[in-house]
Amino acid sequence: MDEFIFLKNYTSIKYFLNEEKFQTCYIIYLNWVNHLDSNKIYYSNESLFKRFPKYKYNETYAMVKSMIRGHKSKIFINNNHIINSKYASCDSFGFKKRIINIIHTKKPDYKNYYIDHFYFKSTEEFINKINRGDKFYGNHTIINLYWINRYFEANKVTLDKIKYFEKRSNLSLTHFRGFLNNNIY
């Protein structure tokens, strides 16, 4: 599990969902934050929140994840970012919007309600995650330059991480080594 719902003033998600502002909403979406690797290369048996306290988000145009009330039909869900429905949707403020296609919100709420997403974790865990595959990319994917680029777009490039990626992928990452030589961390 790598996602957790944060609700600042609620002891239960039931209290949050039962608020009056959500009573006519069948799809409720929350902004999400991506936790970074905190320069951890290897797995350690500690809480995710302790291991990866740093996170990143977009202040102006943020993606969301959705919660859907189970008693409605005819809601097409491609994934938790893409929903096509005739039913009312609303953000964590209760603002209603009909959603088709990729869901974003222009007024994110990162103070009261959001989803903590531990997408990357350590370098080792990220590689293991990609190598096991998932629903969207097939049962088995291998770590390649696409995934390594995604990882380093969000996380700090270090020589130790480059070496670990090279060892696990059998790729030569001279581009990242050059980048590291030209940028002092």
CA–CA separation, 136 vs 161, rounded Å?
26
| 28 vs 161 pLDDT, higher one | 161
pTM: 0.78
pLDDT surpassing 70 at residue 132: yes
- Burial state string for 125-141 with b = 16 or more CB within 10 A and e = fewer than 16: bbbebbeeeeeeeeeeb
pLDDT surpassing 90 at residue 121: yes
Give 61's pLDDT tier (boundaries 50, 70, 90).
Answer: low
Q: pLDDT at position 76, please? A: 61
Cβ pair 30, 65 in contact under 8 A: yes
Q: pLDDT at position 35, please? A: 93
Q: pLDDT at position 185, please? A: 43
Considering only 44-53, 76-85, 86-95, which range has the smallest mean pLDDT? 76-85
Q: Mean pLDDT score of the chain, rounded to an integer?
A: 80
**Average pLDDT rounded to a whole number, residues 35-51:** 96
